[in-house]
Amino acid sequence: MGTSTPSRILIIEDHTLISDLISSSLEQTGDFQAVSVPTIAEALEMKADQEFDLVLLETSLAYPVQIADVQAVLQKCDPAKVILFGNETTHTFVQNCLDIGVSGLIPKQFSFESLMFALKLIQSGQVYVPSEQQVTTFADDALEQCSLSCKEFDVLKKLTEGLSNKDIMRILGLSETTVKMRVRSICKKLGAANRTQALVFAQRQGLI
């Protein structure tokens, strides 16, 4: 049994058998006190009465979880660390979640030992993402060749995902004016007339 105060973890999972098994296994270690709910709405209501250290959020509930859902959990459950939990995820979705403050991703196929390892790592303040889900960053020297700053490249990556200025604002925490200025700067530096042409030019140069 653990000697320190158990961490409180909120599990948002609509499959009762899975949530019960995880909750029971975590509590048996003595390191966690687990509470589970089947919906995000119930999780947000529960947070009004209780404080949690970790939130394990299933990425496919009755419907596929969206960025706005993740952001709502992050805001309502702050300062708890929010962790994605599931198999039905894309690199784009995971990266967008990391950009707005999610602490990691734990696939459902993990063993319990791997789950514990990931939770402990996240508790220590690190971000955990399995190697096959990690998104590589563009080399600094390549950015210098096209004169794009790292902040502009962040916006460019979001443009490749088909995101609107409003989505980019929310994910990167920028103002609408800043997003527009960076899009204009990207177009100018790439010699493009608009964002669509900028994406074509960026692909030709191997930026994306």
In DSSP notation, the chain reads --SSPPEEEEEE-S-HHHHHHHHHHHHHTTSEEEEEESSHHHHHHHHTT---SEEEEESBSSSB--HHHHHHHHHHHTTSEEEEE-S---HHHHHHHHHTT--EEE-TTS-HHHHHHHHHHHHTT--B--GGGPPPPPPHHHHHHHT--HHHHHHHHHHHTT--HHHHHHHHT--HHHHHHHHHHHHHHHT-SSHHHHHHHHHHTT--
pLDDT at residue 84 above 90? yes
What's the pLDDT score for residue 28? 96
| Structural domain includes residue 200 | yes
| Average pLDDT rounded to a whole number, residues 20-29 | 96
| Structural domain includes residue 1 | no
Looking at 79, 107, 133, the residue that finishes a domain is 133
Residue 174: give its domain's CATH number. 1.10.10.10
Domain count, the chain: 2
What's the pLDDT score for residue 146? 72
Residue 32: give its domain's CATH number. 3.40.50.2300
| Average pLDDT rounded to a whole number, residues 56-68 | 89
- 61 and 119 in a single domain? The answer is yes
Domain that holds residue 13: 7-133
Query: 104-106 and 54-58: which strand pairing?
Result: unpaired
What's the pLDDT score for residue 57? 97
What's the pLDDT score for residue 116? 93
What's the pLDDT score for residue 114? 87
| Structural domain includes residue 2 | no
Looking at 87, 114, 133, the residue that finishes a domain is 133
What's the pLDDT score for residue 125? 92
Total-model pTM: 0.67
- 99 and 183 in a single domain? The answer is no
User: Residue 112 corresponds to which tokens in the numbers above?
Assistant: 């319990």
Q: pLDDT tens, 131-164? A: 655 544 444 555 566 788 888 988 988 887 777 8
